[in-house]
Amino acid sequence: MTLGIGLLGCGTVGGALVGLIDAQPDLEIRQVAVRSTTKARSAGVSSDLLTTDAHAVVARSDVDIVVEVIGGIEPARSLIIEALEAGKPVATANKELIANYGAELLALAEAKGVDLQFEAAVAGAIPIIRALRASLGGETIHRIAGIVNGTTNYILTKMTEEGASYGDALAEAQHLGFAERDPTADVEGFDAGAKAAIMASIAFGADVVAGDVFHEGISNITSTDIDFANRLGYQIKLLAIAEQFDANGDGPSIGVRVHPAMVPDSHPLASVRESFNAVFVEGDSSGELMFYGRGAGGEPTASAVLGDVLDAAAALRRGGHRPMPLAQRLPIKPIDDLPSAFCVNLQVTDAPGVLAQVAGALGENDVSVRVMEQHDIAGEEAGTARLIFITHVAPERQLRRTLAAFDKLAVVKAIDSVLRVLGE
C-alpha cells in the first residue's frame, strides 16, 4: 500500500527530502507547503505539488504521514497538533519546537496512538534519538556529552589548527555558509542547549526544556586559551552535557548545560574536527559509546527525517506506535551545584610563599589540585609568573568561592582564564 506524505516546508532539508522520498517505492508526496510558490526550487520538486496552505495539506484525506520541516514555533506547533489530532504520525526536524513543547506534543501523540518522531532535531544524520530511545531504552545513562553544533566546532577547529582569532574564524564560517549572519544562536550555545534538553529528556525519560539548560558560548574563548589548553594536552570544545544524579534518598535529579570545556587529547570527543558532530554516552551496562557524523546540511538531515518517515510508515502498516512519555519533571540542579574539574590560569607575584597562599585559598574551599605548572611570562616585568592548575572535580560553587578568595590575595595579579575540564 502506498502511503501519502504531506511535506510542510521545502527549504534546505525539505528540498533534499523530496528526492529521498521519491526513491521509496511505497511513499508518495501528495503536496508540499511553502511560503512562496514562485520561488525557484531544486530539481525534482514539481511546482504542481506546491501550495501556501499548510493546514490544507495536513487535512488532506490522502495524506497519511506529515513531515514538518518549516522550523520555529508557529505555525509548526499548530500544524503538528492538527496532524496528531487527526491521528496522523508526524516526523519533524524542529529542535526549537521539541525542546520547548516536546512533552505536550508527545502526550498528544500518545493520546492519539500515533508516532511523533524527531531524530533530525539533534545532531542531523546521527541516529542518537533512536539509539537513546530504543537500543539504550533499558540502560541507566549517567552522562551524555556531545559536540552538537557544527558552526562552533568549525570555529574552534580553525582557531586551534590555524591560530585564527575568534573573529576571523567566525567570519570565515559565515563566508562558507557554516554560520548564519546573526550567529548568536550557535556561538552563545542556544542551539546546542535545545539539543541538550532533547537528549536529556529522552535519556532520562523526563520533561527537560530549553529554559532548563545553563549555557555559555564560545565568544570569550581566545587564541591564548586554546594555546595553553593544547600545551597541557587538551582541545577546547563546546560541549552539551546532560547528567543524571542519583542523590542518596533524595531521588534523581538532572544537570543540563552547554559550555566550552577542555577535553583531554585522549578522549574520543577531542578528535571531532570541523563541522562534524559527535555524542558520547556513558551507561551503566553499555559502558562508553560514541556516535559521530554530519550534524547538519540538507542531505544528512533529510536522511534522518526519512528514517523517521519509514518508521512511522511501518508502524501505520502494523497498526501501532512506539510510546515515548515524558510526563515527569525531575529537579534540575543549578550550575552552582554541578560538578566539573577546572583549569585556572593566574598571574602571580614570583616570590617565595605565593604557592602556599594560593594553595591555602584552594584548601579553604575544598578544591583539590590535580596538576599545577609554573611558567615565566616572556616580555612581562620581572617578578611575575604564570600559575596554571587543573583541579579535581568539585561543585562549581566551590570554585567560584576560590576565585573570590584569589581576588583578595595581593600576590594574585590577574585571573587570566577559568575553563571547565571534561573530568571523570
Ligand X SMILES: NC(=O)c1ccc[n+]([C@@H]2O[C@H](COP(=O)([O-])OP(=O)(O)OC[C@H]3O[C@@H](n4cnc5c(N)ncnc54)[C@H](OP(=O)(O)O)[C@@H]3O)[C@@H](O)[C@H]2O)c1
The residues annotated with a catalytic role in the active site are 195
Which helix H or strand E contains 337, and what residues bound it? Answer: none
* Residue 301 sits in the site that holds ligand X (CB under 6 A): yes
Contact pick of 6, 14, 293, 307 for ligand X (by CB under 6 A)? 14
* Residue 18 sits in the site that holds ligand X (CB under 6 A): no
Please check whether residue 407 is in contact with residue 401, taking contact to mean a CB–CB distance below 8 angstroms: no
Contact pick of 3, 21, 93, 315 for ligand X (by CB under 6 A)? 93
* Residue 82 beta carbon to ligand X: minimum distance, rounded to whole angstroms: 13
Residues 253-292 as x/- pattern, contact with ligand X by CB under 6 A: ----------------------------------------
What distance in Å separates the CA atoms of residue 81 and residue 1, rounded to the nearest whole number?
26
Stretch that binds ligand X, among 66-74, 157-165, 228-236, 327-335 (CB under 6 A): 66-74
* b/e per residue 22-35 (b: at least 16 CB within 10 A): eebeebebbbbbbe
Contact pick of 7, 34, 209, 278 for ligand X (by CB under 6 A)? 34
Contact pick of 120, 173, 262, 367 for ligand X (by CB under 6 A)? 120
C-alpha cell at 198: 532533547
What distance in Å separates the CA atoms of residue 325 and residue 20, rounded to the nearest whole number?
30
Burial of 185 (0-12, 13-18, 19+ CB in 10 A): middle
Stretch that binds ligand X, among 3-11, 250-258, 312-320, 350-358 (CB under 6 A): 3-11
Q: Which amino acid is at 225?
A: D
* Residue 39 sits in the site that holds ligand X (CB under 6 A): yes
* Residue 117 sits in the site that holds ligand X (CB under 6 A): no
Nearer to ligand X by C-beta: 39 or 375?
39
3-state secondary structure of 165: coil
* Residue 307 sits in the site that holds ligand X (CB under 6 A): no
Nearer to ligand X by C-beta: 195 or 386?
195
Ranked by CB distance to ligand X, the top (closest) residue is 11
Q: Report cis status (omega within 30 of 0) of the bond before 75.
A: yes
Contact pick of 6, 71, 89, 146 for ligand X (by CB under 6 A)? 71
Contact pick of 21, 33, 187, 330 for ligand X (by CB under 6 A)? 33
Contact pick of 124, 127, 255, 283 for ligand X (by CB under 6 A)? 124
* Residue 4 sits in the site that holds ligand X (CB under 6 A): no
Residues 6+ apart with CB under 8 A from 32: 7, 10, 14, 18, 45, 49, 50, 51, 57
* Residue 160 sits in the site that holds ligand X (CB under 6 A): no
What distance in Å separates the CA atoms of residue 237 and residue 344, rounded to the nearest whole number?
17
Cα 236 to its chain centre, rounded Å, is 16
* Residue 95 beta carbon to ligand X: minimum distance, rounded to whole angstroms: 5
Nearer to ligand X by C-beta: 17 or 387?
17
How large is the angle between the packed helices 396-408 and 354-364, nearest 10 degrees? 140
Residues 6+ apart with CB under 8 A from 33: 6, 7, 8, 9, 10, 50, 51, 52, 53, 54, 57, 70
Residues that bind ligand X (CB under 6 A): 9-14, 33-36, 39, 54, 69-71, 75, 93-95, 120, 124, 296-297, 301
